[in-house]
Amino acid sequence: MNTTLLRQTWNLIETTNAWELLEASESDLIQRLLQRLDAQKPLAAQERVSLNDYLHTKMSLIKDTAESRLVSA
């Protein structure tokens, strides 16, 4: 996974509604994020697998980031 894709992923996370990030189940949220990233730039099969794994490992950070956005709003 390259740095451009990582930046694109975190930009999408940061611009996604915080409630959506918090309310969705982990698997649903990952699928939504992958679909949106794929719509921006089609993902290769290996990129999709790598991103899926990466998002699973970063889910606590994603949820914490969303919570902090709500608190500071």
DSSP string, 29-54: HHHHHHHHHHHHSPPPHHHHHHHHHH
- Taking only the tens place, the pLDDT of each residue in 11-26 is 999 999 999 999 999 9
Tens place of pLDDT per residue across the chain (73 aa): 899 999 999 999 999 999 999 999 999 999 999 999 999 999 999 999 999 999 999 999 999 999 999 998 6
Domains of the chain: total: 1
User: Can you give the pLDDT at residue 73?
Assistant: 67
Give residue 13's domain range: 3-72
Burial of 37 (0-12, 13-18, 19+ CB in 10 A): buried
User: Can you give the pLDDT at residue 64?
Assistant: 97
| Those residues with Cβ within 8 angstroms of residue 73's Cβ, 6 or more apart along the chain or in another chain | 18
